[in-house]
Amino acid sequence: MSVRVKQIAKLLAKVFVSVGLLAWVFSQVDYEQFREAVAATRWHYVVGVWFATVLFSLLQSYALQIILRKQGCDVGLAKLFATTCITAYYSLILPGIVSTGVKWYILKRSTGKGANVLSSMLYNQATLSVVMVLAGLAALALAGPARDASPGAGRPYCVPLVCITLFTLVLLLYMLVLSERTGGPVIRWLVAILKPLPRPIREKGQSLLQQIAVFQTAGWRFHLIVASISVIDGLLVGLLIYFLAARAAYVVVPIGVLIWLCAVVFVLSKIPITIANLGVREMTLVGLLGLYGVDKPAALLMSVVMFSGLLFLGLLGAAYQLHWSLTKR
């Protein structure tokens, strides 16, 4: 089977998965109730989601700019933001790994340093992912759904205990990987752990670890700066997107719940099984928000509002793509 045929087969598989998941979600929601929820949407919050999504991408671009400079690649913030928007545009029609390749290709053409761009992109995403996982575990420990509401019963400690343990392990492991002294042995140990996994997962994991190893000599000040931007971007701006989307759909849950939901959806979005995370996001929000008594139509509407933010970013990307095409850039 040729490479082209395999790519088409993978794309069709992701489309089928997206359609299947969406069909299941909509089968769980009463159409009339969902239509009423859409009619009652608070549109000023929807517009807020659009601009918060733009801010999220702008901060991601700023973090990538700092990382690229450390790699000897000087790219303007405007160019990085435009590239991020174009990537969002392609993510609506291509699988995640392919749309990300578009971003790498544009930045490679701009800098002439493909390997440096790749390692910078992976380091940026890895740092943001670790921040989101840590924030999600902390929020889940404090506001998770594992509560026993029966009279006189205390709250079980298994979920908070597991979350605290995982929080400590993830933070410690990431610090050991980035350390110049311990990074080499830890990465070799992680590569050995990946060996029993399927070949595609093993190769992607090894590639990620090798690219992150480039930054082991960057120094802790650099890592703290990038991590701080990721905290502001992922935790504050990401939470703002969820808060505004919830308000638009009349969803009322504690802030801690929105934090760990944001982390769960973000981590699941990194698994390239659907197009633009369609289906995964909807199924996750409808299922998990139901634990807090949120009606399925409202949860689905909240997911749709969040997806509209990606559409807005994609429209900006289409405009940038058209402009660059007309100017032959």
Q: Which of 132, 45, 125, 129 is nearest to 87 (CA)?
A: 125
Using 50, 70 and 90 to split pLDDT, how confident is the model at 153? very low
| Rounded Cα–Cα distance for residues 98 and 253 (Å) | 36
**Distance (Å, whole) CA 127 – CA 150:** 40
Taking residues 151-167, report their average pLDDT.
72
Give me the sign of the Cα torsion angle 125, 130, 134, 137.
positive
Query: Does 150 score more than 50 pLDDT?
Result: no
Closest residue by Cα to residue 37 from 315, 312, 286: 286
Q: At what angle do helices 255-269 and 238-248 cross, to 10 degrees?
A: 110
Tokens of 60: 């991601």
Question: For residue 257, is pLDDT > 70?
Answer: yes
Could you tell me the pLDDT band of residue 50, with boundaries at 50, 70 and 90?
very high
What is the rounded distance in angstroms from the CA atom of residue 144 to the CA atom of residue 223?
30
Q: How many Cβ atoms from other residues are within 10 Å of residue 36's Cβ?
A: 12
The percentage of the chain sitting over the pLDDT mark of 70, rounded to a whole number, equals: 88
Q: φ, ψ for residue 128 (rounded to 5)?
A: -65, -40
> Furthest-apart CA pair in the chain: how many Å?
70
pLDDT (tens digit per residue) in 58-100: 999 999 999 999 988 999 999 999 999 999 898 887 655 556 7
Higher pLDDT, 143 or 233: 233
Q: What is the mean pLDDT of the chain?
A: 85
CA distances in angstroms from 116 to 74, 91, 194, 202, 313, listed in the order given: 11, 23, 24, 22, 26
- Across 175-188, average pLDDT: 88
**Which phi and psi (to 5°) does residue 41 adopt?**
-55, 135
Tens digit of each residue's pLDDT (9 = 90 or more) over 259-269: 999 999 888 88
With a cut of 70, say whether residue 233 has pLDDT above it.
yes
